[in-house]
Amino acid sequence: MQKLRLRYAKRGPLRFTSHRDIARAFERALRRAKVPMAYSQGFNPHPRISWIGASPTGVASEAEYVELQLVEELEPDALVHMLDAAMPPGLDVLEAVGVPVGADGGSLADRMEASLWRIELSGVSPDTLRTAFSRLLDAEVVEVERLTKHGMRTIDARAAVVTGRVEDDPAVSPSAPPGEACGILVVVVRQLTPAVRPDDVLSALRVVAALEPPVPAKATRMAQGRLDDGGGLSDPLAQDRAARASAIG
């Protein structure tokens, strides 16, 4: 049995698709591509797929991860080509890394300590956004409310925010109409329980600075991984690449 870990992107209108529908599209693509999947035992077998920290509905992502188990060995690059060709537009397989048999690298989920988010706020000037974010960083606790299936829940959004910056170069805000201000917040957020999402960060900015974007923000997850001492993120697949290279060498 072969284990492979994949990084994929969720782009364009597909960001409004639920994780359940993303999972169904993935399984259909696996069948179309004739990937030799391993299946669970029992009355109703399912392909052995493990989803790692799926992004919320409504946000795009360049760094989603899934783990597959196969009954026949495939070259990772070949799997990327096969699977990406069978995916719907906007669901793009970017990379696959094989995990050598017996490699003790721990679970992939344990490597996902934080996410790097890019949040575009059309109609909000960079200076206004910078002031609001500075107030958020200065606060010790910023409680926001989120509606869950169990009702309203209060969470501390400030506790999850590690670091961030505001970008104001017009070249990096292609979604903004010509001549319209667009503040871009690039922020590292710890993946706590409950998870703090981009809309929770925006709610925190509303609490500390009464920031109300005139149009819905566009959020994209750019990376996931372990936190380093400087607040950056390590590549969660780097350890698997190194183990595979050592096994081959």
Q: Per residue in 18-59, pLDDT tens?
A: 999 999 999 999 999 999 999 988 888 889 999 998 899 999
* CATH 3.30.70.580, the chain: domain bounds: 2-108+235-248
Neighbour tally for 175: CB within 10 Å: 11
Joined tokens for residue 217? 């923000």
Q: Which residues contact 56 (CB under 8 A, 6 or more apart)?
A: 197, 198, 199
Is 2 within 8 Å of 69 (Cβ atoms)?
A: yes
Q: 15-52: b or e for each residue (b if 16 or more CB lie within 10 Å)?
A: bebeeeebeebbeebbeebebebbeeeeeeeebbbeeb
CB contact at 8 A, 115 and 187 = no
Q: What does the pLDDT average to over 188-207? A: 94
Task: Give the whole-angstrom CA distance, residue 85 versus residue 92.
Answer: 9
What are the backbone dihedrals phi and psi of residue 49, each rounded to the nearest 5 degrees, phi first?
Answer: -125, 130
The phi, psi pair for 150, rounded to 5°, reads -100, 10
- Tell me what pLDDT residue 177 has: 58
Q: Give the dihedral sign, CA 199/203/206/208.
A: negative
pLDDT at 85: 92
∠ at Cα 119 (117, 121), nearest 5°?
170
Q: Given this model, what pLDDT does residue 150 score?
A: 77
The CATH topology of domain 2-108+235-248 is: Alpha-Beta Plaits (3.30.70)
Predicted TM-score (pTM) of this structure: 0.91
Q: Which residue has the higher pLDDT, 100 or 126?
A: 126
Under the phi-then-psi rule, with left for phi > 0, alpha for psi from -120 to 50, and beta for the rest, what region is 231? left
Where are the CATH 3.30.310 domain residues in the chain?
Answer: 114-225
Q: Could you confirm whether domain 114-225 is CATH 3.40.50?
A: no
- Mean pLDDT for the chain overall: 90
